């Protein structure tokens, strides 16, 4: 009888969790996580408000049925409950001198000056123009295959008012990326994402959901299920993998040597496995993997941007006009020429998670210095992928390096950067491992 294979999964975000879940039960799994908790961007905080404990998310928050089918099917298997969410978007620019939201007609014209502004009406016209053109190009993507969004907008003569007060702020918020970086975003990727998420319609017909009690509920259910199934599963929290090297043991047969640091003990560790799924970010994978691996050139094409998220109670980062307040709120104190900085986006968590409290609770990206210190609950750092033409080409070529020397890659960065992308990539990596070591 052949020896059971051992696979290391490095990184416990949704991609790593999906990979572990989908690996064959005969495989021994060592699950490495650098932090003291599982989940990556799935991050729930329990806070006390008015003598009540409330669970608030600060990373992954919402999903919908059309674009998260695999993730939702898995939630159903785990019997995770979810509830309706509210997805609306507002813009507050130039220190509140320009504000609007598309959630209703009254919020579009909540700022009375918009009602008398020809520029504002032209922006609304161009939103409709962009939506119609986007729908056409979604069905003919080859027409814009190699264009950046900046090139696409210039070619189709879109005005600066529309670009700076609608499209770039929205895209910057969605991908947690500086507006100046959005200019290099592949046009076909942006339009595809907007189409799939109902953003090329005057009204968003999708129902959005959040997980009842916080996103961490699915991690709890995952761990419970692994225990119930008595899976050969060894979780290693606070383990930072520093390096992996390989040793060949016969033709196309490799042993992977893993070395790293136990952060809570400040001691080193080493182990040997049959294969590795790198379910961490591309920049982290590049540091861990040996230089001669053919994935290195591709990994270095996909970069990440650090964003600081602050959980707080300060209303000052929200639009000045209360009727404009939305689920997502883009805030800029400056004009577009000064927007090379990171996006400032405030998530109104009461609306997104249907929190049962009268106290307004927010998560704001990249404005920690503008929030009253006495109203700050917690600050966290997250990294988000930066996409451009080169990164999209690299993504398409990853299929050529998966499994070489028994190393596979998974992560939301292999798709659009969202939870479904991470879940699918983790599953795909696990299927390839199963095919090689079990069914193959």
pLDDT reported for residue 37 = 96
End-to-end CA distance of the chain: 16
6-42+215-302+388-439 fold: FAD/NAD(P)-binding domain (3.50.50)
| Cα separations in angstroms, 8 against 12, 23, 207, 228, 281 | 11, 11, 37, 21, 16
Where residue 403 falls (left for φ over 0; alpha for ψ -120 to 50; beta otherwise) is left
CATH architecture assigned to 83-210+303-386 = Alpha-Beta Complex (3.90)
- Predicted confidence at residue 252, as pLDDT, reads 64
Tell me the Cα Rg of the chain.
23
pLDDT at 186 over 80: yes
Q: How far apart are CA 206 and CA 202, in angstroms?
A: 12
Q: What are the Cα distances from residue 130, in Å, to 108, 124, 158, 174?
A: 18, 10, 8, 17
What pLDDT, on a 0 to 100 scale, did the predictor assign at position 339?
47
Give 276's pLDDT tier (boundaries 50, 70, 90).
Answer: very high
| Mean pLDDT, the chain, integer | 93
- Can you read off the two tokens belonging to residue 437? 């070591």
pLDDT of residue 1: 44
Q: Where in the chain are the domains?
A: 6-42+215-302+388-439, 83-210+303-386
Find out whether 45 and 55 touch, Cβ atoms under 8 Å. yes
Q: What is the rounded average pLDDT of the residues 329-342?
A: 67
Lowest-confidence segment of 199-203, 416-420, 429-433 by average pLDDT: 199-203
Q: What is the pLDDT of residue 354?
A: 86
pLDDT of residue 118: 97
65-91 pLDDT tens trace: 999 999 999 999 999 999 999 889 999
pLDDT of residue 130: 97
The residue-averaged pLDDT of 135-144 equals: 93
Q: What is the pLDDT of residue 336?
A: 47
User: Residue 249, Cβ neighbours under 10 Å: how many?
Assistant: 10
State yes or no: pLDDT of 352 exceeds 90: yes
Residue 2 pLDDT? 64
Q: Report helix, strand or coil for 331.
A: strand
Helix (H) or strand (E) holding 69: helix 69-78
Average pLDDT over residues 204-224: 93
**Rounded CA separation 230/370 (Å):** 49
Residue 369 has pLDDT above 50, yes or no: yes
> For residue range 375-411, what is the model confidence (pLDDT) as tens digits?
999 999 999 999 999 999 999 999 999 999 999 999 9
Whether 298 has a pLDDT exceeding 80, the answer reads: yes
Q: How confident is the model at residue 345 (pLDDT cuts 50, 70, 90)?
A: very high
**Phi/psi at 45 (nearest 5 deg)?**
-115, 135
Same fold across 6-42+215-302+388-439 and 83-210+303-386: no
Which pLDDT score, from 0 to 100, does residue 223 have? 97
């Amino acid at each position: 009888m052949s020896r059971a294979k051992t696979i290391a999964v490095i990184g416990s975000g949704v991609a790593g969790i999906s990979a572990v879940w989908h690996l064959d039960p005969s495989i021994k799994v060592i699950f490495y996580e650098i932090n003291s908790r599982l989940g990556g961007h799935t991050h729930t905080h329990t806070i006390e408000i008015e003598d009540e404990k409330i669970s608030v998310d600060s990373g992954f928050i919402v999903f919908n049925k059309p674009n998260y089918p695999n993730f939702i099917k898995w939630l159903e298997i785990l019997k995770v409950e979810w509830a309706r969410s509210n997805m609306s978007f507002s813009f507050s620019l130039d220190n509140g001198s320009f504000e609007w939201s598309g959630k209703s007609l009254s919020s579009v014209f909540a700022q009375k000056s918009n009602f008398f502004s020809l520029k504002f009406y032209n922006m609304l016209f161009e939103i409709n123009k962009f939506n119609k053109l986007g729908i056409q190009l979604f069905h003919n993507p080859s027409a814009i295959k190699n264009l950046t969004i900046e090139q696409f907008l210039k070619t189709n003569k879109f005005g600066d008012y529309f670009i700076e007060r609608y499209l770039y702020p929205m895209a910057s918020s969605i991908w947690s990326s500086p507006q100046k970086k959005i200019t290099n975003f592949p046009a076909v990727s942006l339009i595809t994402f907007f189409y799939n998420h109902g953003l090329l319609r005057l009204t968003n017909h999708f129902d959005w959901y959040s997980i009842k009690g916080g996103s961490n509920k699915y991690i709890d259910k995952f761990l419970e299920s692994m225990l119930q199934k008595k899976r050969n599963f060894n979780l290693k929290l606070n383990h930072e993998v520093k390096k992996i090297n390989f040793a060949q043991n016969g033709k196309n047969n490799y042993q992977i040597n893993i070395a790293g640091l136990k952060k809570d003990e400040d001691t080193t560790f080493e182990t040997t496995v049959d294969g590795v799924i790198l379910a961490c970010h591309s920049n982290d994978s590049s540091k861990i993997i040996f230089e001669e691996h053919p994935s290195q050139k591709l990994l270095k094409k996909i970069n990440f941007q650090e964003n600081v998220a602050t959980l707080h109670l300060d209303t000052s980062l929200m639009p000045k006009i209360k009727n404009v307040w939305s689920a997502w709120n883009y805030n800029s104190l400056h004009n577009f020429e000064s927007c090379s900085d990171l996006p400032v986006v405030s998530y109104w968590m009461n609306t997104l998670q249907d929190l049962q409290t009268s106290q307004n609770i927010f998560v704001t990206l990249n404005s920690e210095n503008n929030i009253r210190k006495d109203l700050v609950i917690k600050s966290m750092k997250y990294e988000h992928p930066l996409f451009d033409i080169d990164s999209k080409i690299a993504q398409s070529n990853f299929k050529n390096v998966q499994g070489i020397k028994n190393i596979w890659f998974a992560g939301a960065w292999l798709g659009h950067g969202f939870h479904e992308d991470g879940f699918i990539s983790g599953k795909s990596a696990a299927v390839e491992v199963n095919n090689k070591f079990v069914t193959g």
